[in-house]
Chain A
Amino acid sequence: MTTARIRVRRGTRRRPRLRTGLRYTLLSLFALPWIVVPFWTLLVNSFKSDSESGVLSLGWPKQWSAGANYSTVIHQGTYFAGLENSLLVGVPTILAVLLFGSMAAWAYARSGSRSLRFAYYASSLSILLPPAIIPTVYILTHLGLNGSRAGYMLTIAGTRLGVVIFLATGFIRSLPSDYEEAAQIDGASKWQVYWRMILPLLAPVLFTGGILLVINVWNDFFFALFLLQGQSRATLPLTLFQFASSSLMSVRWNLVFAHVILSSLPLMIVYILLQRRVLSGLTEGGTTG
């Protein structure tokens, strides 16, 4: 019995360093085709000329034409218009979803009302169920909002609220309600309790929900394709699609890639600045299944 235990302990003490080394080697070997090759292909070919990028090699560009590629994307690909539209649509929508979602979550968590519980389940269902796009177009047409930014934003909000509501309701339910009641007895209004107590407490959950929202809303293509009309309102994914579809016939990978890089750049910059918080927010935050 004791000898066995000693043997195990000695074994585990000597093995970790070797095993850690093996693990990092395997991880690197896996990261090579999984991450490095695709993103290197993307980056290096966006610097090449038309003919050179057609070969799709991984080599360094012989003829440097990054300037020409990126300026084509910015001018013909209407990059800045797309960026402006994405920000114009995305930022208010995400903020509104976080605000309304957390307000509703407080109500759902603290109310025993059956109708509110039903509303909670209906909202949570929107996480799993695919959106019904044709009736959405129909409803927006009848509201006079079809093709407009407002209609798009409202639809995104209505279908994305579920995530925030689900995460935040679960979190508030786990908190004792004594403090809220005490604050109200002391004379704080409902709004003050929400704004000064609930909202700050929800910050980590809303951060997690916010990350998921940003990833989903910024990259949304499905709704944008159906609901946004005209080049002037196109968000970045839509701009990318229109640009790539127009030149893909001649397969100009250098230009498509330059557009992919420019469209992904805003989120990448945010990610580089906040990566540690993003990853810990997603692992420690609301992913409690």
Chain B
Amino acid sequence: MSALSFPDHPESVLMPTAGDRSQGRPRRWYRQPALMSGIVILAVILFLAAAAPLLSSYNPIAQDLNASLLGPSAHHLLGTDQLGRDTWTRLLYGLRTDLRIAFIAVLFPFVLGTVAGSVAGYFGGWVDVIIMRLVDIVVAFPFYVLVIALVFVLGPGERSIYIAITAVGWVSYARIIRGEILVAKRQDYVLAAQSGGLSSIRIMARHLLPNVITQAVIYAMSDIVQDILAIVTLGYFGLGVPPPTPDLGSMINDGQNFLSTHWQLTTIPGLAVVVVGLGLSLIGDGLADLIRTGQS
């Protein structure tokens, strides 16, 4: 705590904290067409995924070999796959699986990268050198190569996906946050906090982070898109969520043998991924625009 004798929280008297920023924030976020359409798209997708049991009466993993490879009909909106499972139902549950994993998967690299970037940027010196060398090394591997290699080594499954995406994904957050901290730490409010005798951890968490986190949040939007693509790709190669759990990647893989006769089996799950990606990208772009206009 502070060496000065201010009442309760010295920083509230001395310098701006996260709470003060809300006043400067542009209010008309709903006027951003990109942001709004992104939110609408994502809301619809999230609703479909969340309400899957209400929107379909079929079991996503129940096979019915008498009803395999049926075309779209009133009973089966998008037809059935080679094992007679309802494609619409599997699509909904597949979205559920992949979105859940993607949203959880983005958290770990976000937190790890933010902490590593803050520490590197704030302390500088050898800590910075070590962390940034580590970043250089991880960046040397193509994203998919390292993710696929790690999942292979750890064995397929959800836990491996989290570990692999965290191990590869934290570097971008570390780079972004470090860059922002390098600029922000020279600001007067940080110098004031330092001279107020606040601990480094407190300065980083309460003063610096709220001011630098926005860029990382915007990046997280495009990062989720990348994570969803990685999860779907792993599923496609049979390295993702083990069957019979529905997953869009394995649905595309299952359908590719019937591409010329039952195109919907491959096309629809892929299209779902594209729509999710579009929604998240629009939100990311809209947020970035909002912050640019807010700053100018």
Asked if A and B are interacting partners, one says no
Interface residues, chain B, CB within 8 Å of chain A? none
Interface residues, chain A, CB within 8 Å of chain B? none
